[in-house]
């Protein structure tokens, strides 16, 4: 069996929602101290809906695929739903990740959490 699913390879090669969101009202940056990978998530929230989302990931292929899939899973969804997104759901949507790459999906969950926290603390009403 291939180490990475077709979906992982697809999102790695053609990541969705890459870039900077100039009018974001929630931005979160997280990193993994062990591997050194960094992920930045930008959210544009309006009326409690994630209207737009973009990311920048300096990291491994699984981190890029995880952030791409995570943005797809929360785009257009209520904030409450985005808040509940787990790394397992991201990995599942990618048809799985190798065990030792699960931490890459954790980074995606944490980046969204950090961006939502930033929105709650600074972005509301912005």
Judged by the rule CB under 6 A, the positions of this chain that interact with ligand FES are 32, 35, 37, 59-60, 62-63, 101, 103-104, 107
35 catalytic residue (yes or no): yes
- Out of 104, 106, 112, 114, the active site residue is 104
CB atoms within 10 A of CB 34: 7
Q: Based on CB atoms, which residue is closest to ligand FES, 49 or 102? A: 102
60 catalytic residue (yes or no): no
Q: Based on CB atoms, which residue is closest to ligand FES, 45 or 115? A: 115
Q: Please, what is the minimum distance in Å from the beta carbon of residue 16 to ligand FES?
A: 18
| Catalytic annotation, residues | 35, 104
């Amino acid at each position: 069996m291939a180490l990475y699913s077709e979906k992982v390879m697809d999102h790695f090669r053609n990541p969705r929602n890459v870039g900077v969101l100039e009018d974001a009202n929630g931005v979160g940056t997280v990193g993994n101290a062990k591997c050194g990978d960094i992920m930045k998530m930008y959210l544009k929230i309006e009326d409690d809906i994630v209207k737009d989302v973009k990311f920048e990931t300096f990291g491994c292929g699984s981190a890029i695929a995880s952030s791409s899939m995570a943005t797809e899973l929360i785009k257009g969804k209520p904030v409450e739903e985005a808040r509940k997104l787990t790394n397992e759901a991201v990995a599942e949507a990618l048809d799985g990740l190798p065990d030792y790459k699960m931490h890459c999906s954790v980074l995606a969950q944490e980046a969204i959490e950090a961006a939502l926290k930033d929105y709650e603390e600074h972005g509301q009403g912005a």
